[in-house]
Amino acid sequence: MRATVIHGERDIRIEEVPDPVLSTGGDAIVRVVAACVCGSDLWGYRGITPTPEPKRIGHEFVGIVEEVGPDVTAVKVGDFVIAPFYDCDFTCINCRNGVSTSCLHGGWWGGTDEFGAFADGAQGERVRVPHANGTLVATPSMPDAALVPSLLTLADVMGTGHHAAVSAGVTPGSTVVVVGDGAVGLCAVIAAARLGAARVIAMSRHPQRQALAREFGATDIVEERGDEGVTRIQELTGGIGADYVLECVGTKESMDQAIRSARPGGMVGYVGVPNGGPELPVRPLFNRNVGVNGGVAPVRNYIEELLPEVLAGVIEPGRVFDLELPLADVAEAYAAMDERRAIKVLLRP
């Protein structure tokens, strides 16, 4: 089959790779219907994360089950399934505690599973899915093609935006600031509005993203950043700051922006993968009782909650995809996101 392989900085190729083969009894082979490029994939693309040897890449996909191992009971051949950006058994204590990203038996696409068997990256034609019973969620019936983009966001960005809001503890009637206007930030706007925030302030400088944020439920847009951004948030919040801030970028600057945008006693929900591991400044947090909660989003735990609203069209997170390309053009997909010509690119094998 064909799959995407990253060879190094700005070197993304489609290659022939071995077809996946069932091996653990509890795994499944899924034919990919749609995959996409993640902001975090750009780290390797940009050379920020080194790629010492070629490796398979991609971690978001939806598809059709083609084969299942003898222990698989939760999905069957022919099902349309959503996979989170990791695999998990969904039965261990951490999964039951709502943190399936810390599954005691889980793993990551493009790596080896707990049995030492390879699990394909998602930007390819097929993926072997370990722990299929826990990892995959089947839709009740074959979804309309128009729903595929939104279903695909449940693999990562919609669940991640939701996690920011849940980690912050967004409450009805509250004021929420969203830092970051990428796909995750835009999905965080949906999540905050969905949880009843009365005011959702999106920080964005891009007219197209601002427009989408407003359609997703943002009530205010702040274009300023840094000190000016903090001042503007203060002006919009009676001089004290926002109840909740959703940090969806992962840089030192964005986290600083988030912390300073929260009111005393406020909470920052953060899901931006810390880029280079910035430390959190404890004094500004301590002095104003601003908390920080979040992390790598356990999106598997959120699929059941969000799926019905996607199927019903109540939320349309798939609108974050503003470019669709065939898998063969995956290199162009990376370039378009790298150059911010696209918010998020959907790939069709």
Using CB under 8 A as the criterion, which residues of the chain lie in contact with a copy of itself when the complex forms?
93-94, 97-99, 101-102, 167, 238, 240, 255, 263-265, 267, 270, 273-274, 277-283, 285-296, 298
| Element holding 260 (H helix, E strand) | helix 252-261
Minimum distance from residue 45 beta carbon to a copy of itself (Å): 21
For helices 157-168 and 183-194, angle between their N-to-C axes, nearest 10 degrees? 50
Beta carbon nearer to a copy of itself, 65 or 249 = 249
Q: Give the CA distances from residue 129 to residues 51, 154, 176, 270, in Å, rounded to whole numbers and listed in that order.
A: 24, 17, 37, 28
Beta carbon nearer to a copy of itself, 47 or 264 = 264
Minimum distance from residue 95 beta carbon to a copy of itself (Å): 10
3-state secondary structure of 321: strand
Q: For residue 126, what is the DSSP state?
A: E
Beta carbon nearer to a copy of itself, 217 or 274 = 274
Angle at 265 between CA 275 and CA 287, to 5 degrees: 75
Task: Give the side-chain half-sphere CA count within 13 A for 343.
Answer: 25
| Element holding 210 (H helix, E strand) | helix 207-216
Minimum distance from residue 182 beta carbon to a copy of itself (Å): 17
Beta carbon nearer to a copy of itself, 50 or 277 = 277
Q: Are strands 199-203 and 175-179 parallel, antiparallel or unpaired?
A: parallel
Minimum distance from residue 318 beta carbon to a copy of itself (Å): 26
The DSSP annotation for 59-112 comes to --EEEEEEEE-TT--S--TT-EEEE-SSB--S-SHHHHTT-GGG-TT-B-TTSB
Beta carbon nearer to a copy of itself, 95 or 347 = 95
Minimum distance from residue 286 beta carbon to a copy of itself (Å): 4
Task: Give the side-chain half-sphere CA count within 13 A for 250.
Answer: 17
Beta carbon nearer to a copy of itself, 169 or 217 = 169
Minimum distance from residue 235 beta carbon to a copy of itself (Å): 15
